[in-house]
Amino acid sequence: MLKRSEHVPEIDRRWSWAEIDLAAIRHNVRAMRRLLKRGCRLMAVVKADAYGHGAIACARAARDAGAGSLGVATVQEAVDLRTAGIDLPVLILSEPPASTAPLLIAHGITPSVCTAAFAERYGRAAADAGTRAPYHLAVNTGMNRIGTDWGSIAEFARSACSHPSLLMQGVFTHFATAGDPDERFMRVQQRRFEQAVAALRAGGTDPGIVHAANSAAAILAPDTHYDLARCGISLYGFHPGPNTRKLIDLRPAMSVHARVTDVHAVAAGEGVGYGLAHRCSRDALVCTVPVGYADGLRAGLSGRIEFTVGGTAARQAGHICMDQCMFEAPAGTAPQIGDEVIIAGKGRAPGATVESMSAMLDTIPHEVAVGFAQRLYRVYR
Ligand SMILES: *Cc1c(COP(=O)(O)O)cnc(C)c1O
């Protein structure tokens, strides 16, 4: 048994953490819903632990703001939502291993379907349990990731999905280029998708919930809304493309913080960190914070970003290590051990944001945000 004094809250065990603003997530869900056509529902995509923001808390926040269903990537993510008592419909956005069929039935988790082998196994599991097996049919319209090809969808539904316990609850596709200012290929995919849905109907199959849009298409192309929009990145406050900024007010929900753990007076000309990659050009105070690339602060940002300390920008100095990194205190300031540093802000601080980091790394904010979930403790505000 631990003594009382030995119970140290997780937030106090390391001087670095991520803050998640759930009010921002609720704001973003409402802003997206306002933009959707009448009758179009919002699915909150909470895969990869809600893009690093925490799936359970974000699912609840999204539900409170009017999301009607949840999208995940894996069976385990779906089971975790159920275990936490979240009872919204949950769709797995790809086809899971067929061996998971009984587990899906037991938890009321809806899979995407695109192979006959899975459909058969899933139908049998439902029959064994004396229930129906709802699924969404995934249609490949040109992204060539998952799905049955758009041209053979009616035939697939007729033959592969013929088990009497299977219940088609929806049909969907996914756009490869939705955030791209050049809409042409998205329109090609849209046409193919509409042909596939029409073929299903012509074959006497009710496709149920028809959906295609991710965040980018939901904001930029209202005629892709259909019955449901699957929104991920927008709910976390990031813009999915260069052209969405003027169309919707999104608020970033994540920021990353740390406290100074060490301060060194370093003479001009001395180096900092591995390889002494940074050289102080003046006598400087070099401060250390316990955030490194194993926390999602990508090594590719080394020496290129600014933190915010006491409202002032401070250049990160030297290679970002696995668990720590250093910065030079702004001239004329004297940070103390314990002072708070904003590692990634939400745009108001002078320093870096998740978005500016992702631009610098030539990647998307999804990847940088997910990185900050690796090890940092999360605090909800
Ligand atoms: C991840 C994902 C989404 C959400 O995309 P965002 O760009 O984050 O809005 C929607 N649909 C599918 C199939 C996905 O895999």
Closest alpha carbon to 58 in 83, 36, 86: 86
Q: Is 45 in the pocket of ligand 1 (CB under 6 A)?
A: yes
Q: Ligand 1: does its nearest atom lie under 6 Å from the Cβ of 93?
A: yes
- Sign of the dihedral through C-alpha 303, 331, 289, 267: positive
Cα distances (angstroms) measured from residue 357 to each of 80, 242, 277, 343 = 30, 16, 20, 11
What is the rounded distance in angstroms from the CA atom of residue 201 to the CA atom of residue 176?
25
Distance 307 CA to ligand 1 centre (A): 30
Is there an atom of ligand 1 within 6 Å of 335 CB?
A: no
Nearest atom of ligand 1 to the alpha carbon of 179: 7
35 CA to centre of ligand 1 in angstroms: 17
User: What Å distances lie between residue 199 and 11, 185, 191, CA to CA?
Assistant: 55, 21, 12
pLDDT tens figures, 110-156: 999 999 999 999 999 999 999 999 999 999 999 999 999 999 999 99
Residue nearest to ligand 1 atom 15, measured at CA: 93
Which of 230, 234, 248, 368 is the best mutation target for the ligand 1 pocket, counting ligand atoms within 8 Å of the beta carbon and taking the most?
230
Return the SS3 of 50. Answer: helix
Q: How far is the CA of 12 from the centre of ligand 1 (A)?
A: 35
Interatomic CA distance for residues 124 and 108, integer angstroms: 15
Q: Which residue numbers are catalytic?
A: 47, 274
Which of 74, 145, 174, 180 is the best mutation target for the ligand 1 pocket, counting ligand atoms within 8 Å of the beta carbon and taking the most? 174
| Stretches in the chain below the pLDDT threshold 50 | none
Q: Which amino acid is at 284?
A: A
- 30 with 249: CB under 8 angstroms? no
The whole-number pLDDT of residue 83 equals 98
Distance 213 CA to ligand 1 centre (A): 8
Nearest-CA residue for atom 4 of ligand 1: 232
Spatial contact of 263 and 287, defined as CB atoms under 8 Å apart:
yes
Q: What is the pLDDT of residue 2?
A: 82
Take atom 14 of ligand 1 and give the residue whose Cα is closest.
93
What pLDDT score does 85 carry? 98
Rounded alpha-carbon distances, angstroms, from residue 221 to 31, 212, 237, 257: 16, 11, 19, 36
Centroid of ligand 1 to alpha carbon of 169 (angstroms): 19
Six-digit token string for 79? 């089971």
Whether the CB of 214 sits within 6 Å of ligand 1: yes
pLDDT tens per residue, range 292-310: 999 999 999 999 999 999 9
The pLDDT score that the predictor gives to residue 269 is 97
For residue 175, report the distance from its CA to the centre of ligand 1, in Å. Answer: 9
